[in-house]
């Protein structure tokens, strides 16, 4: 059971590494803007992050379509891959904004 969980986490991290740098850069930019403008810009940043996630989703889905067969053969569906990695990315985004609000605003 633990071995399967560990393998799944490794596979998710491998999948997420394909777009981590871009999404993390956008998250950092949103964090800087949030620090600069405060809560008044939160909803704009929220839609920017959601839009970037959507663009990455469509780009990766078409650009790396054959890679999904690899993950499917290892027991991970597309829905599971996308749901878990995008929720993790969004959680990082919210965590960063929370930390910025707590320590810098």
Cα radius of gyration rounded to whole Å, the chain = 16
Contacting residues for 27 by C-beta, under 8 A, at least 6 apart: 49, 89, 92, 93, 96
Average pLDDT, the chain: 92
Which tens digits make up the pLDDT trace of 70-89? Answer: 999 999 999 999 999 999 99
Q: Is 89 helix (H, G, I), strand (E, B) or coil?
A: helix
> Per the confidence metrics, is the pTM higher than 0.95?
no
Domain ranges (residues) in the chain: 6-103
Q: Report the pLDDT value the prediction gives residue 103, as an integer from 0 to 100.
A: 87
Which tens digits make up the pLDDT trace of 25-61? Answer: 999 999 999 999 988 999 999 999 999 999 999 999 8
């Amino acid at each position: 059971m633990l071995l399967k969980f560990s393998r799944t986490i490794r596979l998710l991290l491998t999948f997420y590494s394909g777009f981590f740098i871009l999404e993390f850069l956008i998250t950092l930019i949103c964090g800087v803007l949030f620090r600069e403008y405060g809560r008044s810009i939160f909803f704009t940043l929220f839609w920017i992050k959601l839009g970037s996630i959507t663009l990455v989703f469509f780009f990766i889905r078409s650009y790396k379509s054959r890679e999904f067969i690899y993950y499917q053969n290892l027991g991970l569906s597309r829905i599971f891959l996308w749901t878990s990695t995008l929720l993790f990315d969004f959680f990082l985004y919210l965590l960063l904004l929370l930390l910025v609000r707590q320590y810098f605003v």
